[in-house]
Structure 1
């Protein structure tokens, strides 16, 4: 039982719940990065391409970033609220 408490303390909660949250967050971040055109195998080249395209698009890029922000907020804000509610119960 003491080992389970140490594992729970290390993970910051139930290990299974933490792993599920991490998997969901990884998928969400992966979708967002894919929408930005980032490639995990070539992350630095993809980031450079993203920065160059942001400069070349000018103000259109700001609109795109805003839409990406809103798209991400649809997922992130409810997840954050769920995590806050789940943490408040402890």
Structure 2
């Protein structure tokens, strides 16, 4: 069981814990020096997801509008051509 845990963590649990604590302190000092707070980072991530969502589905909305606009002309012309072709037989 201990080997499974060590394999999963990438080393002994105590060693991994010490590395995580040291890295967390270094990242915390860096973020503090930059003046960033956890709240600002979370708001930035949330805003990024909102922008991506709007971009993807805003574009999808435009595609649907273009499809409906073209279909209003293409489908009646297709049906009319099929009806005229079947009348010639």
What TM-score bracket applies, with the shorter chain setting the length? 0.3 to 0.5
Q: Given the two structures, how large is their TM-score scaled by the length of structure 2?
A: 0.45
Q: Given the two structures, how large is their TM-score scaled by the length of structure 1?
A: 0.45
Higher Rg of the two aligned structures: 2
Higher relative contact order (CA 8 A, sep 6+): 1
